[in-house]
A and B are shown apart, each in its own frame.
Chain A
Amino acid sequence: MPKVLMRGNHALAEAAVRSGCRYYFGYPITPQNEVPEYMSERLSKLEDGVFIQAESEIASIHMVIGASMAGGRAMTSSSSPGISLKQEGISFLAALELPAVIVNMTRGSPGLGNIAPAQSDYFQATRGGGHGDYRTIVLAPNSCQELADLTYKAFDLADKYRTPVVILGDGMLGQMMEPVELPPEVQIKKLPHKDWTLTGAKGRPSRFIRSLLLDPFEEEEHNWKLMRKYERIAKEEVSWETSFADDARLMVVAFGIAARIAKGAIKRMRDEGLKVGLIRPISLWPFPSKAIKELTKKVRHFFVFEMNMGQMLEDVKLALEGNGEVHFYGRPGGIILTPLEISRVISSYYYQRKLG
């Protein structure tokens, strides 16, 4: 299949449409404006395409809820502050067991922040963000190709598990242009039938979709039901990538754009003879805890590198369960580090700890 040079935001939007998404509800916020702009054009050309620029991020997530209840593949996108606004809606999606895809192109935070890329929404994405005991599948692409592939896959995962899926990108991934091999168009009619949607009670008893369970015993059981689902997801949908791991004395742990930068740094360090490897979680929830713990059989030193003040760091520490040493380097607020800077920081640690 031929590759197309595409901007990240466009690649994810195109992949979504090819995955059968016909319902996009969004709101402008930098650095993801290209997503609604692309969708407005692309969906208007499709007979069954629906694009609404909603009045707010709150309105758009609730339009996603309505569309999902009616059986459509629906998505919304935003950036950090807008994703904060969507949290109640995301909690509802999880509680109501509705499929949906939510894209976050993270920017400098907290508050109004800035429009530069950051990774400071890891907690927001993986720790719920909204109220209650729920999880959302969180996928972290690190290239325009992955933005396309993971968005495409997200709709299938969402439908399969009846759960919201978050694509955790960042401003840089969204803006950069890379060659992308686009996935094939899905035939919507061939998608598995949903037997739980609200379509009007024709030829069947009426049904309702709700999350209000006043009886605590019912609510408890519902929570257990969700947890059993999340356990299944944790077993089946964990994904990660390792590079240069075989003889590594130190493993860098990074996700998304930081992992791209880290790879560049690792190549520099390998050229200098340092035995550094990389493990890159692709699913941030479920987190590849087992895979990280496995590494402790051969490696003792873990260097977490994120564009934030240490968020995935906590999951790495939890995964290691005390086996190994964890060091952290990060810069928040939209700073994009260079491979040179990272290689210097890691090399410095490597030499100080005499890992050579």
Chain B
Amino acid sequence: MASGMIEIDSELCKDCKLCISVCPHRLIESSDRMNQKGYYPASYVEKHLKKEGSKCTGCGLCAISCPEIAIEVYRA
């Protein structure tokens, strides 16, 4: 069971990919659907991946790096 979770506001995202680069569990990927601004926003993929040990810990590194404050972090 994951001890953390994030929510990404895809309309705020500008696809800088910084969150993708800092997530220690590689749980974020670029979406293939464009947002209103014309960016391919970052998307939290935990629910789709079935990688061993890939669980969000709510470390918050993604949110700390996100310039657009597009990410909210939850922790148990």
Check whether chain A touches chain B (CB < 8 angstroms): no
Residues of A within 8 A of B (CB): none
